[in-house]
Amino acid sequence: MSLAAACGCATTSADPRDPLESVNRAVYAFNEGFDEVVGKPAARVYREALPRGVRNMLRNFFNNIDDLFIGANNLLQGKPADAVNDWGRFALNTTFGLLGLIDWASDAGMEKHNEDFGQTLGHWGAGDGPYLVLPLFGPSTLRDAGGLLVDWEVDPVALHAPVDERNAMVATRFVGRRADLLEATRLLDEAALDKYVFLRDAYLQRRRSLVYDGRPPRERPPAQ
Amino acid sequence: MAGRRANGRLRNEKEDEMKRLLAGAAFALAAVATHAQHTPPDELVKGVMLDIQRIIVEDKELQSGARRKSIELIEQKALPHFNHVGMTALAVGVNWRKASPEQKKRLAEEFRALLVRTYASSLSAFGDQKFDFRPLRMKPSDTDVTVQVRVLQPGAEAVTVDYDMEKTSNGWKCYDVRVAGVSLVINYRTEFANIVRDSGIDGLIRSLETKNKKLAAATPASAK
């Protein structure tokens, strides 16, 4: 009785998608703490210190580098037309967009895609595997964590030669992305009754949608 | 319906005037109802979204995220097109059948309030977004469709918003919204199931009440 009451706050629902829930919750708590102390404050400073135009350029710069590998993943998924679009974006933005600081390609109607190696694995039928919360990186799955390793191996920012420059770039990218998510995390605080569960379910839904490029097959009967 | 207009030849007696007024009112109501009933779901979504956007563009307070006003706008313009009971049933899942009619009513009220409070604060972003309304292919016999809208933003991938709509005697009603593939309704299912398992349907109602009160109390602080 008292034992059940003692750990009542973190009762696990034995969710089959999340067999490691107790470990995940611990990592999640660590990430939340890190975010509170480092992530959010840094993101707020970033947002207040830099004018919007500069933040846009920095975001464009990192997004442009991503387009190379978004294209590669589209090719690996058998979508050459999308790959051509992504590499066209990269070519246009790297040259006329001054190393990617300006996103002319979007203005020209070349759409930005969202791909990574985890999605490529999913595209070819790899299931999610157990849900994982990675230290600092946050929500993931076994499949997506594997994908992340590959993404990281070929990431030009992570591969950049002088280590201190690389660290500065990785940190800038991290803080910039955290700043872009400030609204989303406020929304999460307001919407969720149990943030861990809410974020997990949202992540799994989101990834499923991404694997199917926004058109996942319907899997539930209509309401009532 | 039409052609039964009040006749000009009627004598000006009080009773006739009353009748005419009532007939006029009934006619107007019928016209509105018929309109909503016959508006195809994709046109309905487009009309409502553009209407809300126009109001935000013309209103400085809404653009700066005035919460109370945002909630009013949603209540007036969007909510009449939602099936709250259906949404709540979908979020509560299998436990819905165990709830009494009174509990169902309370659940639907609280869930509706939670969704409105949570998403009202995101409404300000609506003002300067571009929408790409996807053509809907539907058969006349269809009673359950998904209306797709893409929200375009420069420098980032488009965000898809899917409205699951069902045909009712009062026109098409939305019972789920998926943003970037994440269902705002289904995402509550595990959370709700966990709470019901631990503390029953009444426990879920209490949790939602507490959450809503907390959000309401926080309103003045985050209004601006």
**Residue among B155, B192, B208 minimizing CB distance to A56:** B155
pLDDT score recorded for residue B31: 57
CA gyration radius, chain B: 21
* CA-based nearest residue in chain A for residue B184: A202
Chain A residues with CB inside 8 Å of B125's CB? 183
Look at B90 and A223 and tell me if their CB atoms are within 8 Å: yes
> In chain A, where do the E strands start and end?
131-134, 138-141
Q: What is the pLDDT of residues B116-159, one digit of tens each?
A: 988 887 787 777 788 999 888 888 888 999 999 998 876 677 88
Residue A150, Cβ density class (10 Å: 0-12 exposed, 13-18 middle, ≥19 buried): middle
The neighbouring-strand residues paired with B147 are: B163
Chain A residues with CB inside 8 Å of B175's CB? 222-223
User: Helices A195-211 & B189-222, crossing angle to 10 degrees?
Assistant: 110
**Which residue numbers of A have CB closer than 8 Å to B's CBs?**
8, 11, 13, 15, 56, 59-60, 63, 103, 106-107, 111-114, 183, 186-187, 190-194, 197-198, 200-202, 205-206, 208-210, 214, 216, 220, 222-224
ipTM at complex level: 0.79
Residue predicted with more confidence, B191 or A224 = B191
pLDDT score recorded for residue A147: 93
Q: Report residue A223 as tokens.
A: 């309401």
Chain B residues with CB inside 8 Å of A59's CB? 155
**How much is the average pLDDT of B75-102?**
92
Chain B residues with CB inside 8 Å of A103's CB? 154-155
pLDDT score recorded for residue B59: 87
DSSP A85-141: HHHHHHHHHHHTTTTTTS-HHHHTT-------HHHHHHHTT----SEEEETTTEEEE
pTM of the model: 0.81
pLDDT score recorded for residue A8: 41
Name the minimum distance, in Å, from the CA of B25 to any CA of chain A: 34
Alpha-carbon torsion, ordered A134, A178, A181, B190, to 10 deg = 20
Confidence of residue B61 (pLDDT cuts 50, 70, 90): confident
Task: Please tell me the least confidently modeled range out of A90-99, A129-138, A212-221, B50-59.
Answer: A212-221
Chain A residues with CB inside 8 Å of B90's CB? 223-224
Residue A171, Cβ density class (10 Å: 0-12 exposed, 13-18 middle, ≥19 buried): exposed
Query: What single-letter DSSP state applies at residue B149?
Result: E
Q: Report residue A173 as tokens.
A: 């990218």
Look at A13 and B193 and tell me if their CB atoms are within 8 Å: yes
Task: Please tell me the least confidently modeled range out of A162-171, A215-224, B193-202.
Answer: A215-224
Look at B190 and A15 and tell me if their CB atoms are within 8 Å: yes
Residue A101 above 60 pLDDT? yes
Q: What mean pLDDT, rounded, does chain A reach? A: 87
* CA-based nearest residue in chain B for residue A64: B155
Residue B214, Ramachandran bin (φ over 0: left; ψ between -120 and 50: alpha; else beta) = alpha
**Residue among A114, A194, A210 minimizing CB distance to B191:** A194
pLDDT score recorded for residue A44: 93
**Residue among B119, B164, B191 minimizing CB distance to A198:** B191
pLDDT score recorded for residue A50: 92
Q: What is the pLDDT of residues B163-192, one digit of tens each?
A: 999 998 888 999 999 988 999 898 999 999
Instruction: List CB contacts of B96: < 8 A, sequence separation 6 or more.
Output: B88, B89, B104
Which of B96, B157, B184, B205 is the mutation pick for testing A, counting most A CBs within 10 A? B157
Look at B190 and A222 and tell me if their CB atoms are within 8 Å: no
Chain A residues with CB inside 8 Å of B157's CB? 111-114
Residue A24 above 90 pLDDT? yes
